[in-house]
Amino acid sequence: MRRRGFTLIELLVVIAIIAVLIGLLLPAVQAAREAARRAQCVNNLKQIALAMHNYHDTVGSFPPGGISGDATFGHWTGGWWPWSVFILSQIEQAPLYNTINFSARNLYTYSGATAGANNSVEHITVTRTIITAYLCPSDETNRLFDDLKWTGWSNMGAFTGSVTNYVANWGDMKTSHPVFDLYSGESPQGVGPNWGCDNRFRGLFGECSNGAVTGINSCTDGTSNTLLVGENSPHYNGSLLWTNGDGIYASTVIPLNWKTNFKDGQVDPADGSTCNIDHLNTLDAAHCYRNQTYNYGFKSKHPGGANFAFADGSVRFLKQTLSPRTFNALGSRSGGEVLSADSY
């Protein structure tokens, strides 16, 4: 009696078919996972936008981009707290907000041993608290930076803090890059960026604005045409702590998803520069994560673009192929640019 079974060729065919099916299935699973992560990222931005509007309803304006002490010896002093701190109560983090000493002044922001500074002992609970609403699940970066020594100033030592993936809209602010700045609507203010100081920022938030605020009434371009908050990645920017008043902002003159992913000691193949703190604000080392000429842009780990919350509370995905002029028009709150409904 003959036994029925597979021949070797039939078995190999079955194995080949299974391999093809697995090959088709894995990208589908990965795409489904990324879609879920992107949906969570959108939800985070929704929460932030809602918190911003609740803050606006209570105070009459959006939160300040940053509040610090007075400028001494050319550098800001005092605890330098960003917009993300001021909406803690609106994202159910009121107890954390209540632990912050906002009254400290004339103390170096980053001197770890000085009371009142962002990273002083009294603020360890705040700076090291991981807030999931400020994290995009598509970004695999460590949730804590344990060596945030990202400037060359002697008073800024290394310290540990919790990161964020979301940065406020600075507007189409200059970065000192001759090509990027061509797309800026900012009037000449000397050489280089003004960092939004002295209320000179074209978006909704200024970095060293020191309490200057904007409201919905200032969005004369329309709240649906003005960016509120967008994405950046700690993988591409070494200063992204949610408690860092000197880092969680972005200019729309930098192309969307311009990658700055080379770390200290790595060589940028674009020009052979070795990445380190010496390239903090230079035109070379265009892909180094410490270089603020390039890392102060909107970037994400999502393929093809990034998510943004607009001033009307909506969240949209913008493609990185968006024209520079349209992107910058979305950055400014009152530039008078005309945008059609199908331009982005």
3-state secondary structure 274-313: ECCHHHCCCCCCCCECCCHHHHCCCCCCCCCEEEEEECCC
Torsions phi, psi for 166 (to 5 deg): -120, 130
Give the helix/strand (H/E) hosting 254. Answer: none
Tell me 143's DSSP state: S
Nearest Cα residue to 133 out of 93, 170, 80, 94: 93
Using an 8 Å Cβ cutoff, are 292 and 167 in contact?
no
- CA pair distance 243, 164, nearest whole angstrom: 9
pLDDT score recorded for residue 10: 72
- CA pair distance 119, 342, nearest whole angstrom: 45
pLDDT score recorded for residue 78: 53
Using an 8 Å Cβ cutoff, are 251 and 172 in contact?
yes
Torsions phi, psi for 241 (to 5 deg): -100, 140
Give the pLDDT of the chain (344 residues) as one tens digit per residue. Answer: 556 666 777 778 888 888 887 777 666 656 667 777 888 999 999 999 999 999 999 999 999 888 765 544 444 455 678 899 999 999 999 999 998 877 654 334 444 445 556 666 677 788 889 999 999 998 877 787 765 554 444 444 556 788 999 999 999 988 888 888 888 888 765 556 777 777 788 899 987 766 788 999 999 989 999 999 999 998 898 888 898 877 899 999 999 999 999 988 899 998 899 988 888 888 899 999 888 889 999 999 898 999 999 999 999 999 999 999 899 999 998 877 767 666 66
Overall pTM > 0.95: no
